[in-house]
Amino acid sequence: MAAVTQPLARPRVSARARARKARARGGILWIAIGGILLAGVVFVNVAVLQLNLRLDSANAERSKLLADNAALQTQYSRLISSPRITAAATKQFGLVYRDPSEYVYVDLAKK
């Protein structure tokens, strides 16, 4: 005859033990949620820092371009100055400046 063994009885868990386990799970859950939120805050701060670095480099480039534009404007003003053009016209083409009061106008519409 074969011996039949009885299944082991599970120990009963008291209500207090169940409450402690539930509180422990709740605490772990809150810790995980807090960690996720803190990771999100760190991610946002890193993104803002990267944007600030890009903005700073764009502002530096803008300042450099403004300085270059000012230098080019100064050079342009020097190049289009009247004495320089007059000297170049005299040297290259033999043109001579005449006083505008010496000009004579002919009226071709006379009848």
Q: What is the DSSP code (8-state) at residue 96? A: -
Q: pLDDT > 70: what percent of the chain?
A: 94
Q: Which of 20-24, 43-47, 84-88, 94-98 has the lowest mean pLDDT?
A: 20-24
pLDDT reading at 86 higher than 90: no
Q: Which residues contact 90 (CB under 8 A, 6 or more apart)?
A: 96, 97
pTM higher than 0.75, yes or no?
Answer: no
Q: Is 8 in a helix, a strand, or coil?
A: coil
Q: Which of 15-29, 36-50, 63-77, 97-111 has the lowest mean pLDDT?
A: 15-29
pLDDT at 71: 96
